[in-house]
Chains A and B, each alone.
Chain A
């Protein structure tokens, strides 16, 4: 007996129920394991240097010395001043780094061996936020 085209199409229909079940199990797996949150952070421009960067003797290069319990700030040959984080932010914003040429955006950073990462993190991210480039002095 000759079949019509319509009848033949319904004869080969696939049962996709189990296919859908597997697909949803996979979706549940990926939803649970995926971390969609974008992290908070700050991109750093941080040239490595074993000695003071060129121009560090220039009168206007700021130097930040992070100690365990305080932060000391100097500009060139000026007197060393103890600053809190808010005052330091003010000083760095006053420098208007984004308007300066790259060489004039350097901020020299010195740090004691016992300084904790969070203190270092707060200072370097603040320097980056104001447009400065951290020049780390290593031993």
Chain B
């Protein structure tokens, strides 16, 4: 009989759901939610780079000279204040700094000074030059 046969082949989806939720938890933990998606930046290139850990905190200066801290725009003074507030939390985690390659010293140096003033470690990020 047709009805009976249909019930015989029902799949148990319990383990399927478990696996799916484990995958969701994994992607939630590793994702950065495209914080840099709306920034225009051409990273500087160097042959002296190595792979770094995923950053806990990142600071970016885009092509227009705007400073982005964790996805929010701020001034160099605000950046220094924000970093100082989190200094205890970030003692062991370096701040990743990405700066558009053609900015001049007077434009980019306040970002680097803000990090050093806060007493934090920093990683300068860029593209690996082959």
Contacts and interface: CB of A to CB of B under 8 A. Distances in A.
Contacts of A30: 23-24, 27-28, 31
Contacts, number: 138
Contact of B46 (A24, A33, A126): A126
B78 interface: no
Contact of B52 (A35, A41, A124): A41
Given A20-B16, A23-B17, A117 B101 contact: yes
A18 to B, nearest CB: 10
Contact of A19 (B13, B28, B33, B102): B13
B106 A113 contact: yes
* Chain A CB within 10 Å, residue with most, of B48, B54, B125, B128: B48
B116 A125 contact: no
A77 to B, nearest CB: 27
Interface string B1-43: 0000000000001101100110110011011111000000000
A112 interface: yes
Contacts of A126: 46, 48
Given A16-B14, A113-B104, A34 B31 contact: yes
B105 A111 contact: yes
Contacts of B125: 39-41
A122 to B, nearest CB: 5
Nearest to B27: A30
B24 A125 contact: no
Contacts of A36: 30
Given A16-B17, A40-B125, A40-B126, A116 B48 contact: no
Interface in A1-42: 16-17, 19-20, 23-24, 26-27, 30-31, 33-36, 38-42
Listed from nearest, the 7 A-B pairs whose CB atoms lie closest are A30-B27, A23-B20, A34-B31, A41-B125, A16-B13, A129-B48, A118-B44
